């Protein structure tokens, strides 16, 4: 057993979350890009528990499905009726009939709780030789929290807010709802619970009184950073926890050498990875598993979701999802990179370009006003403004290959499947439907005709006709002068 290892962690996640007013289970709402239950499991894993139990109830199937994805090792216990915290933990313990040792009880809706805090709680519990240790905090406003009642410095009881008298409500030290229990005490204490209180529920806090009655020590680990144990009960609190965790994430990255020009408008998910000397400009949102290498500049007004950005790349006013941006590449402004896009080293994706499943080779350029779907563009190629890669015929999506150092003229349409070989040209305004060989110029457009007198016949009396006649008159006068 390691220093941190405990027999079990029980996470309470059965609450209905009525005040969230949501079809989604409360613990599935996200903070910094992760569900609240995912944050709780991450903190619990710091204790290396032999077994992890998540107690579900309301909207349980949603939670089960999510747990299958993020924590398939977790045991799921069901609280059939909402009969209080004591009943929730009793349901969790039913999944651990043979548990022996320390059981940590925590909550699925405290997303700022850190694994290190749980480690210190357990260490304090062991050092003091307590039967129960409560994680407490002193908060500015204790309304709604259970109050810690002390006698001679030790925890004598926990009184819920609704059951507290006025003097007890003046107490600022609160119960976080997070504990370490000796498993035998917890099992016996839960069996002895009654619902004689204003809520008619089984309070887990009554196990504290049970322990005291048997002369066992009840300890308290006071957490200075009280925001770690702030829960989420409504959308206002959800936004507040998001903002606070984002502030902490940004602060951590700035300490690691990342420049954040405007922290108030920059958002970074918990799963993002940044290197030193990255610069994030205002309005940047880095989400999912995005990673940004040293020297890259992101923003302003850019959202990257599961995107890999290499060294010294610049990404400006861009929305990108599941894309790879190479070293020294330039993307934006107003670019949209869809899944499967790979921008090579030193390549450029410019203004109002949409790329999907496109491989843009090193040094290649797609500078502006282009749809680039299902394309493989060779090194050094240049795609002119307004080019369309026509990749979909209504049934099948096909690929266009553009060779190295090839030049595609503006306002061209490349109809896939198509192979334009290395070192070739496509004339501006062409619709290319057949392969182009190396060194060839492809021209696919109608021959130009200039129809004399058309304006006089079809646009008589217009300003256009007047301008044309003025030109003709000037030319006639010039011709007459030349004759003289």
What's the mean pLDDT in 76-101?
Answer: 94
Pairing of strands 330-331, 348-356: parallel
Burial 438-470 (b: 16+ CB within 10 A, else e): eeeebebeeeeeeeeeebeeeeeeeeeeeebee
User: Of how many residues is the chain composed?
Assistant: 484
Contacts of 433-439 with C-beta under 8 Å, sequence gap 24+, read 438/403
Confidence of residue 1 (pLDDT cuts 50, 70, 90): very low
Give phi and psi for 472, each to the nearest 5: -65, -40
What's the mean pLDDT in 286-312?
Answer: 98
Is 161 an active-site residue?
Answer: no
**pLDDT at residue number 479:** 59
What's the mean pLDDT in 403-419?
Answer: 98
DSSP assignment of 391-437 equals: -B-SS-B--EEE-TT-EE-TT-EEESSEEE-TT-EE-TT-EE-S-B-
Q: How many CB atoms lie within 10 A of CB 295?
A: 17
Give residue for tokens 């026509």.
Answer: 390
Catalytic residue among 66, 319, 368, 401: 368
Please check the confidence at residue 482 and state whether its pLDDT lies above 70.
Answer: no
Q: What is the residue-averaged pLDDT of the chain?
A: 95
Q: In whole angstroms, what is the distance from residue 77 CA to residue 282 CA? A: 45
Q: In whole angstroms, what is the distance from residue 266 CA to residue 282 CA? A: 6
Q: Picking from 158-167, 236-245, 333-342, 420-429, which range would have the lowest pLDDT averaged per residue?
A: 158-167
Burial 353-388 (b: 16+ CB within 10 A, else e): bbbbbbbbbbbbbbbbbbbbbbbbbbbbbbbbbbbb
Q: How many CB atoms lie within 10 A of CB 27?
A: 30
Confidence of residue 483 (pLDDT cuts 50, 70, 90): low
Q: Which two tokens stand for residue 166?
A: 């006025």
Q: Which residues contact 324 (CB under 8 A, 6 or more apart)?
A: 307, 308, 310, 341, 342, 343
Radius of gyration of the chain, Cα coordinates, nearest whole angstrom: 34
**pLDDT at residue number 153:** 82
Confidence of residue 2 (pLDDT cuts 50, 70, 90): very low
Please check the confidence at residue 4 and state whether its pLDDT lies above 80.
Answer: no
What's the mean pLDDT in 326-334?
Answer: 98
Containing 181, the helix (H) or strand (E) segment is strand 173-182
Q: In whole angstroms, what is the distance from residue 247 CA to residue 258 CA? A: 14
Q: What pLDDT digit, counting tens, does each position of 452-465 carry?
A: 999 999 999 999 99
Q: Which residue has the higher pLDDT, 153 or 465?
A: 465
Please check the confidence at residue 175 and state whether its pLDDT lies above 80.
Answer: yes
Distances (CA, A) of 19 to 22, 26, 235, 416: 8, 9, 8, 53
Helices (H), 12-152: 36-45, 60-70, 85-93, 115-128
Q: Which residues contact 377 (CB under 8 A, 6 or more apart)?
A: 358, 359, 360, 361, 364, 366, 383, 402
Q: How many CB atoms lie within 10 A of CB 71?
A: 20
Q: What domains are there in the chain, each with its CATH number? A: 8-229 (3.90.550.10), 249-442 (2.160.10.10)
Angle between helix axes 85-93 and 183-191 (nearest 10 degrees) is 120
Please check the confidence at residue 481 and state whether its pLDDT lies above 70.
Answer: no
Per-residue 3-state assignment (H helix, E strand, C coil) for 335-346? EEECCCCEECCC
Q: What pLDDT digit, counting tens, does each position of 157-167 carry?
A: 999 898 899 99
Q: What pLDDT digit, counting tens, does each position of 99-124 carry?
A: 999 999 999 999 999 999 999 999 99
Task: Enter the DSSP assignment of 96.
Answer: -
Q: In whole angstroms, what is the distance from residue 326 CA to residue 312 CA? A: 9
**β partners of residue 75:** 53
Q: Which residue has the higher pLDDT, 482 or 199?
A: 199
Q: What pLDDT digit, counting tens, does each position of 382-397 carry?
A: 999 999 999 999 999 9
Whether the bond into 300 is cis, omega within 30 of 0: yes
| pLDDT cut 90: percent of the chain above it | 90
Q: Which residues contact 437 (CB under 8 A, 6 or more apart)?
A: 421, 424
Nearest to 406 by CA among 427, 430, 382: 382
Q: In whole angstroms, what is the distance from residue 315 CA to residue 296 CA? A: 8
Cα 118 to the center of its chain, rounded Å: 25
Confidence of residue 473 (pLDDT cuts 50, 70, 90): confident
Containing 35, the helix (H) or strand (E) segment is strand 34-35
Q: Which two tokens stand for residue 191?
A: 């069996």
C-alpha distance across the termini of the chain, in Å? 112
């Amino acid at each position: 057993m390691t220093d941190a290892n405990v027999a079990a962690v029980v996470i309470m996640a059965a609450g209905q979350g009525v005040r969230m007013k949501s079809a989604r289970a409360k613990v599935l709402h996200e903070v910094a890009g992760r569900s609240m239950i995912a944050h709780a499991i991450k903190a619990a894993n710091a204790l290396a528990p032999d077994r992890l139990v998540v107690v579900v109830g309301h909207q349980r199937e949603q939670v089960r499905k999510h747990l299958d994805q993020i924590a398939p090792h977790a045991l799921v216990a069901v609280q059939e009726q909402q009969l209080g915290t004591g009943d929730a933990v009793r349901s969790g313990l039913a999944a651990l009939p043979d548990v022996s040792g320390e059981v940590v009880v925590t909550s699925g809706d405290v997303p700022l709780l850190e694994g290190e805090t749980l480690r210190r709680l357990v260490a304090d519990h062991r050092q003091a030789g307590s039967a129960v240790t409560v994680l407490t905090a002193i908060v500015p406003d204790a309304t709604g929290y259970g109050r810690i009642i002390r006698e001679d410095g030790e925890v004598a009881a926990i009184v819920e807010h609704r059951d507290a008298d006025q003097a007890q409500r003046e107490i600022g030290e609160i119960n976080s709802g997070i504990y370490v229990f000796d498993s035998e005490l917890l099992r016996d204490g839960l069996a002895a619970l009654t619902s004689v209180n204003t809520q008619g529920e089984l309070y887990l806090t009554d196990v504290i009184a049970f322990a005291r009655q048997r002369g066992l020590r009840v300890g308290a680990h006071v957490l200075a950073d009280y925001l770690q144990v702030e829960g989420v009960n409504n959308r206002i609190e959800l936004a507040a926890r998001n903002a606070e965790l984002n502030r902490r994430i940004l602060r951590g990255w700035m300490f690691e050498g990342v420049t954040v020009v405007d922290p108030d408008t920059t958002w970074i998910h918990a799963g993002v990875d940044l290197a030193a000397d990255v610069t994030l400009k205002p309005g940047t949102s880095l989400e999912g598993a995005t990673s940004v290498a040293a020297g890259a500049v992101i923003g302003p007004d850019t959202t990257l979701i599961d995107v890999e950005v290499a060294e010294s790349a610049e990404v400006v006013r861009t929305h990108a999802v599941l894309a790879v941006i190479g070293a020294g590449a330039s993307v934006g402004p107003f670019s949209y990179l869809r899944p499967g896009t790979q921008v090579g080293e030193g390549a450029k994706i410019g203004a109002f370009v949409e790329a999907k499943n496109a491989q843009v080779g090193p040094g290649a350029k797609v500078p502006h006003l282009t749809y680039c779907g299902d394309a493989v563009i060779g090194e050094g190629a240049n795609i002119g403004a307004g080019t369309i890669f026509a990749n979909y015929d209504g049934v099948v999506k096909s690929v266009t290959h553009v060779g190295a150092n090839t030049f595609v003229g503006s306002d061209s349409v490349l109809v896939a499947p198509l192979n334009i070989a290395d070192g070739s040209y496509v004339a501006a305004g062409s619709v290319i439907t057949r392969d182009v060989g190396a060194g060839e110029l492809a021209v696919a457009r109608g021959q130009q005709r200039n129809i004399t007198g058309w304006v006089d016949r079809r646009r008589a009396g217009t300003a256009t006709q007047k301008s044309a006649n003025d030109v003709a008159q000037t030319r006639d006068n010039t011709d007459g002068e030349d004759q003289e």
